[in-house]
Amino acid sequence: MPDTSKMPPPPPFKAGGSIAPPPMKAPTGPAKDLNIDIPVIALTAKDFSSDQDVRWCPGCGDYSILAQVQRTMPDLHVSRHQTVFVAGIGCSSRFPYYMNTYGFHGIHGRAPAIASGVKAANPELNVWVATGDGDGLSIGGNHTLHLLRRNFNINVLLFNNRIYGLTKGQYSPTSEHGKKTKSTPYGSIDHPLNPVLFALGCEATFVARSIDRDPKHMQEVIKRAAAHHGTSFMEIYQNCNIFNDGAFLDLTEKDVKDDHLVVLTHGEPLIFGKNKDKAIVLEGFNPRVVNVADTTPDQIVRHDEKNPILASILAKMSDMEGFPTPIGIFLSVDRATYEDEMTDQIKTAREKSTGDLKKLLNSGNTWQVN
């Protein structure tokens, strides 16, 4: 294996709207094939920040998401030249420009398809998708579905602000029923899509939710998503302070958030409230909020991120009046990834035969055109 620290960086590749980073620092860890040690160079959040001006509206929740991703990246111990961010169209899709890694700015809704191709062509890359509730769940819903079910080892960050921000305030697939916007002046009559339920329905192997105003929690979930071998889907509640300001106030304001949020921690009881005096119990498959004083510890639901049925019950709670909104990891299970099975299949086929392209092209029904 060549010593990549002594090789020049790959040339910038501009086709298709991709963005190439500047030269990278030497990779960390031992170069075992050459029996030498490459000095470990610790990366920082600043190393993952590009030289591009960040052009989101002042106060946008996207700034927090960008900051937490950049702060988390050094802890993943993956070189920048091995990392790719792919995006479609929307406010969230500016993300690749602001990450000092490789990136690809695609067309509306197609980021999952592009990312799948990147991962299939080079399974060693650390691939991320930055998308929004419009880009990823409307025009791109079909592509998101197939990425999740195929289980490529790709991380999806879905920014959910319940509005189309880049096109100036139309309702989105996640906008609440009755939402008045420029495209629904009398109120939306659509039933809103629940991104976590959608991902679980697609049988994603890792499904989580965080919120822009809880940086510590978001960083923890990003790290777990990155460590998962398979497609990780992370919904992030993100405030659009221009076209949908205050959409998540109940979940972010200090005086009320504890009564409206329940944090999912594997193996821990689902207890919430400002005084930790409320809990979730199950009656069959139906959740119920009770006072901790009125129940026993064994009746309180303990979170199990390996249980897809429980994950679905908890995901639905965010749509139910009187229930807290769960944040954290709903589900984390193992399943073979698409690229691993694809690589094994190609290896098996090559072991059977090297193939003859000329013979293949001239087999079957052929025509000669004069």
Judged against a pLDDT cut of 90, whether residue 79 lies above it is answered with yes
8 Å CB contact between 21 and 14 = no
Distance separating alpha carbons of residues 109 and 208, to the nearest angstrom: 21
Q: pTM to 2 decimals?
A: 0.86
pLDDT bin (cut points 50, 70, 90) of residue 363 is: confident
Among the listed residues 128, 182, 192, the one whose alpha carbon sits nearest the alpha carbon of residue 155: 128
- Coil, helix or strand at residue 218: helix
pLDDT (average), residues 112-127: 97
For residue range 251-306, list pLDDT tens digits in order. Answer: 999 999 999 999 999 999 999 999 999 999 999 999 999 999 999 999 999 999 99
Domain formed by 4-247+336-340, architecture:
3-Layer(aba) Sandwich (3.40)
Distance separating alpha carbons of residues 269 and 157, to the nearest angstrom: 27
Distance separating alpha carbons of residues 32 and 159, to the nearest angstrom: 40
Lowest mean pLDDT among 9-13, 78-82, 201-205, 352-356: 9-13
Share the mean pLDDT of the chain. Answer: 89
Judged against a pLDDT cut of 50, whether residue 331 lies above it is answered with yes
| Residue partners of 279: CB distance under 8 A and separation at least 6 | 269, 270, 271, 272, 289, 290, 291, 292, 295, 300, 301
Lowest mean pLDDT among 108-122, 135-149, 169-183: 169-183
Strands 83-87 and 102-105: parallel
Task: Using a pLDDT cut of 90, give the percent of the chain over it.
Answer: 77
Burial class (CB in 10 A: 0-12, 13-18, 19+), 365: exposed
pLDDT at 5: 45
- In the chain, what are the domain boundaries? 4-247+336-340
Spatial strand order in the sheet of 83-87: 18-19, 102-105, 83-87, 126-132, 154-160, 232-237, 206-211, 325-332, 261-264
Judged against a pLDDT cut of 60, whether residue 321 lies above it is answered with yes
Lowest mean pLDDT among 9-18, 161-170, 330-339: 9-18
